[in-house]
Amino acid sequence: VGFGGLTVDAVAARAAVGKATIYRRWASKTELVYAAMEATHEEWEPPDTGSLHADLVAVYRHLVEHVVESKNGKVIPAMVAEAETNAELAALMHRFVDDRRDKTRAVFERARARGEISRQFDVELAIDMVTAPVFYRRLLSGAPLRTDHAEQIVGLLLDGVGAKSVRRNIRAV
């Protein structure tokens, strides 16, 4: 029914409890939804293969599988849409997402410790670049999400697209 169609009354009825029982545990529908997302989220630790490339391929594949197959993945579009106008939900979603980003941050920090990336490497931007294709396809383009894109996505991130930058010298006349 989406976030807007969800009611505490309906949740209470389905759980066969009174509405007050729900509100004793969660102060709002938003907190209830967040708790449900946390409760249904599967814990996952990225592997430590000793290679940033291999670790990121595993991260990407896991994210695609999660977004395509999990209960949380199926409600992402509704939650993102609602978060645009619901500040409380937006704050909780940012916390939820940041907690998940910690796993990928750890992958980059291990790579940094091994000397695979420099101290100046922008880890936050790199996390965005690994995850953005998944969410772009899920939320905007509707293109299929496939785990076999992992090698190409990670390769593009780590190696660049191979294009040479063209710089123009502009002189003041």
pLDDT tens string, the chain, 173 residues long: the values are 777 788 889 999 999 999 899 899 988 888 888 888 888 777 888 999 999 999 999 999 999 998 888 877 888 888 888 889 989 889 988 988 888 899 999 999 999 999 998 888 899 999 999 999 999 999 899 899 899 999 989 988 888 755 454 444 444 44
How much is the pLDDT for 162?
A: 55
Orientation angle between helical segments 123-136 and 150-159, nearest 10 degrees: 150
Q: State CA 36 to chain mean position distance.
A: 17
Task: Please give the model's pTM, rounded to 2 decimal places.
Answer: 0.79
How much is the pLDDT for 73?
A: 81
Orientation angle between helical segments 150-159 and 52-69, nearest 10 degrees: 140
Please check whether residue 138 is in contact with residue 75, taking contact to mean a CB–CB distance below 8 angstroms. no
Measured between alpha carbons, how far is residue 42 from residues 34, 81, 148 in Å?
A: 14, 23, 22
Amino acid at 88: E
How much is the pLDDT for 168?
A: 45
Amino acid at 42: E
Residue 24 has phi, psi (to 5 degrees) of -65, -30
How much is the pLDDT for 161?
A: 53
How much is the pLDDT for 169?
A: 46
Q: Which residue has the tokens 């101290």?
A: 119
Residue 94 CB-density burial (10 A; 0-12 exposed, 13-18 middle, 19+ buried): exposed
Alpha helices by DSSP H, the chain: 2-5, 8-15, 19-25, 29-40, 52-69, 71-83, 87-114, 123-136, 150-159
